[in-house]
Structure 1
């Protein structure tokens, strides 16, 4: 019996999603997309899961779309559109998940793999990681939200350069660009990713989700709109058990014990 295309495990409030078709360098097959959809649905509904690590097995995080599954000869736009629509929901779920997501990138994150990685809240990369918006090399346009997240992370000029040339960059250059939070030795990558995820999982996760909700839209909102939304979500945060615990622990001069409620 073959292993599932996506592995899923939960420990200490952190769900680890592992793309698990290493022989295909975790190219974005329908099986992987289905695994991501079901994993994200479970995470969304399970209050015991409070943070996420997303990674890949073998020598790639994700080597882009699975060319073997591309839609026919491309001459039927309706078929091509349906092919794209199949993969879109999981990207919206990933980007909008009101729980922190840490991508641990080892090896190649190219094409769709690049887009998936930068949809996470934090990207940690190994020293041998490679990032590339390689779509133009097969005559395609960056997708899966790459054209949304990339300019927000690196600015428009660098986004155009990376998207239009398809140039490969190392993890170190990705960190310089602002794509990657930190670059680590391979053997430390998952350890540090889980440490970060556990630290986030042990914090006031409802407040984190509300913070993420506004930050992800802040480029589209005016200052006045942000101020109004901050006031609305702060009213929600004031009502949480975690806020009450935070205030209580402050006066008791101890570390807070947040429950995520």
Structure 2
């Protein structure tokens, strides 16, 4: 049975489901392409504000599908092409205007960590397990994923995870900042509440903040320009006027994202 990545939209919240049950949701090269398509689809939907990325059957993603490596990563050039294809999906996930939440149950290994760290938030179930094992496979961790991991947990913790290839518990992952929170029980209820709380706020304001933080992460002299552009865009929006009117009328604002 081949794996798949599919999308479901309910109101302002979209779900991206990664499933490959025979391999604990190990993600194949074809599935990376499907993930890219799913992100593009939800990114084009003006009604979607939050995207929950999760795996099926009690696991997040147990790494890349290693059975493909012999054919797809047999040389430096083929390995580079493989990494380019995966990074295309990961960059689209990182740069989407929507708020992304990785809901992590069970195994989150290798490529699963790559997907998780490309999201805005990571929420782990109490039994979730994290590992970055390229040192056990004799390969290097892709640059984009490594950069995002270091940004999240710092150089020392990133080195420790990769050099030891140790498995981390949810509590350990939370302690180094790899995940935002551990949901001790009812993880779906926890993530749904978080998604709905976010979706009630102004999407343009959130998008602007994501753009500025991304610019800060990338560095360079353009950060101030991006910040000024986003400030002008939000101040000229109908949502800003709606927020002021709702405040004066002592009611909840109804944001439209424009």
- How many angstroms apart in 2 are the aligned matches of 1:227 and 1:212? 14
Q: Which runs of 4+ in 1 moved over 4 A?
A: none
State the shift of 1:190 in Å.
Answer: 1.8
- How many angstroms apart in 1 are the aligned matches of 2:13 and 2:139? 35
State yes or no: 1:252 paired with 2:249. Answer: yes
State yes or no: 1:59 paired with 2:58. Answer: yes
- How many angstroms apart in 2 are the aligned matches of 1:86 and 1:120? 18
Change (3 A) 1:144 1:184: farther
Does the 8 A contact of 1:54 with 1:104 survive in 2? yes
Aligned residues: 258
Does the 8 A contact of 1:245 with 1:258 survive in 2? yes
The equivalent of 1:241 in structure 2 is: 238
- How many angstroms apart in 1 are the aligned matches of 2:34 and 2:188? 20
Return the structure number with greater relative CO, CA threshold 8 A, min gap 6.
1
The equivalent of 2:15 in structure 1 is: 16
Does the 8 A contact of 2:216 with 2:223 survive in 1? yes
State the shift of 1:185 in Å.
Answer: 3.2
Gapped runs of 5+ residues in structure 1?
none
The equivalent of 2:46 in structure 1 is: 47
The equivalent of 2:112 in structure 1 is: 113
Mapping for residues 1-261 of structure 1, pairs under 5 Å: 5-72=4-71, 74-143=73-142, 145-186=144-185, 188-221=186-219, 226-261=223-258
State the shift of 1:142 in Å.
Answer: 1.6
User: 1:140-160: per-residue Cα shift (whole Å, max 9, x none)?
Assistant: 112273211112112221121
Matched position secondary structure for 2:216: coil
- How many angstroms apart in 2 are the aligned matches of 1:75 and 1:229? 41
Give the structure-1-normalised TM-score: 0.91
Matched position secondary structure for 2:60: strand
Matched position secondary structure for 1:55: strand
Give the structure-2-normalised TM-score: 0.92
Does the 8 A contact of 2:33 with 2:85 survive in 1? no
Does the 8 A contact of 1:55 with 1:61 survive in 2? yes
RMSD of the alignment, in Å? 2.0
Gapped runs of 5+ residues in structure 2?
none
